[in-house]
Amino acid sequence: MTGKTGTLNVLYDLGLDDAADLTARAQLAIKLNDLIDKRGLTQAEVAALTGMTQPKISQIRHYKLRSISLERLMRALVSLDQHVEIRVRKVRQSDATGISVAA
């Protein structure tokens, strides 16, 4: 053991260059999957509503998000009657720079 203290985010701990982006995509996918489950929608129905293909919906359902952009996830949420808000603010001393999602 190296004595290194981990964060609460395994993607950062793994040292991935795109950890912030992947984390944001995962958080949006969680929200999207929750909506799909709550509405009892099939992948085909979600594809029709969002304009995505069924295989892309399958990727989201299985959190295979490398080929799914943040923008596409946000547009899919909007297609399911959600309001997506992007806010840019100056970093506070206690904050780290980066991307975060509150869903």
pTM of the model: 0.75
Residue 3's pLDDT band (cuts 50, 70, 90): very low
The conformational region for residue 96 under phi > 0 = left, psi -120 to 50 = alpha, else beta, is beta
Segment 4-51, tens digit of pLDDT: 556 655 554 555 566 678 888 999 999 999 999 999 999 999 999 999
pLDDT of residue 6: 60
Q: Buried (b) or exposed (e) across 32-43, using 16+ Cβ within 10 A?
A: bbebbeeeebeb
DSSP structure class, residue 97: S
pLDDT of residue 100: 63
Q: Which domains does the chain have, with CATH numbers?
A: 15-103 (1.10.260.40)
Residues 6+ apart with CB under 8 A from 102: none
Q: Where are the alpha helices (DSSP H) in 5-52?
A: 10-13, 19-39, 43-50
Taking the CB of residue 73, how many other CB atoms lie within 10 A of it? Answer: 24
